[in-house]
Structure 1
Amino acid sequence: MTRQLGATRVAIVEDHTLFAESLDVALTFEGHDVRRIAPGTSHCTTTGSLLRTVLQLKPRVVLLDLGLGPTGSGLPLVEPLTRAGAAVVVVTGSSDRVEWGECLRAGASTVLSKSQPLNDILATIRHLGEGRAVMSRDRRDELTATFLRDRSERHELRRQLETLTTRERQVLEQLMYGRTVREIAAASVVSEATVRTQVKSILAKLHVSSQLAAVGMAHRCGGLSYDSAS
Structure 2
Amino acid sequence: MTRPSNATRVTIVDDHALFAESVALTLENEGYQVRRIDLADSRATLASVLAAILRGNPRIVLLDLELGRVGDGMRLITPLASNGVAVIVVTGSVGGTWRGECLRRGAKAVMTKTSPLEEVIATVRRARDGLPLMSREDRDRLMTEAANGQDQDREMRSRLERLTRREMEVLGALMRGAQVRDIARESVVSEATVRTQVKSILAKLELSSQLSAVGAAYKVGWRPPGEATT
In structure 1, the partner of 2:164 is 165
Q: 1:135 to 1:220 in 2, by over 3 A?
A: same
Contact 1:40/1:71 (8 A) holds in 2: no
Q: 1:211 to 1:49 in 2, by over 3 A?
A: same
In structure 2, the partner of 1:52 is 51
Residue aligned with 2:119, SS: helix
CA deviation vs aligned residue, 1:104-146 (integer Å, no higher than 9, x gap): 1111000122222222222222222221111111111111112
Alignment of 1:72-221 (within 5 A): 72-221=71-220
Cα separation, 2, equivalents of 1:152 and 1:77:
23
Shift of 1:42: 5.0
Cα separation, 1, equivalents of 2:203 and 2:64:
41
Contact 2:3/2:32 (8 A) holds in 1: yes
Residue aligned with 1:161, SS: helix
Match for 1:204: what amino acid?
A
Shift of 1:205: 1.8
Match for 1:75: what amino acid?
M
Match for 1:199: what amino acid?
V
Contact 1:97/1:143 (8 A) holds in 2: no
Match for 2:181: what amino acid?
R
In structure 1, the partner of 2:63 is 64
Q: 1:204 to 1:47 in 2, by over 3 A?
A: same
Answer with 104-113 or 206-215: which moved more.
206-215
Residue aligned with 1:96, SS: coil
Q: 1:226 to 1:89 in 2, by over 3 A?
A: same
Q: CA RMSD in A?
A: 2.1
Q: 1:112 to 1:122 in 2, by over 3 A?
A: same
**TM-score for the superposition, normalised by structure 2:** 0.88
Shift of 1:2: 5.3
Contact 2:172/2:224 (8 A) holds in 1: no
Cα separation, 1, equivalents of 2:93 and 2:18:
18
Match for 1:142: what amino acid?
R
Residue aligned with 2:65, SS: coil
Tell me if 1:30 matches 2:5. Answer: no
Match for 2:12: what amino acid?
I
Shift of 1:32: 1.4
User: Structure 1: any 5+ residue segments left out of the alignment?
Assistant: none
Cα separation, 1, equivalents of 2:208 and 2:30:
58
User: Structure 2: any 5+ residue segments left out of the alignment?
Assistant: none
**TM-score for the superposition, normalised by structure 1:** 0.88
Match for 1:23: what amino acid?
V
Match for 1:79: what amino acid?
T
Q: 1:183 to 1:61 in 2, by over 3 A?
A: same
Cα separation, 2, equivalents of 1:25 and 1:207:
51
How many residue pairs match? The answer is: 226
Residue aligned with 1:89, SS: strand
Cα separation, 1, equivalents of 2:18 and 2:208:
48
CA deviation vs aligned residue, 1:163-198 (integer Å, no higher than 9, x gap): 011111001112223333332122112233432332
Residue aligned with 2:26, SS: helix
Cα separation, 2, equivalents of 1:27 and 1:84:
23
Residue aligned with 2:36, SS: strand
Contact 1:99/1:147 (8 A) holds in 2: yes
Match for 2:31: what amino acid?
G
Shift of 1:63: 0.8
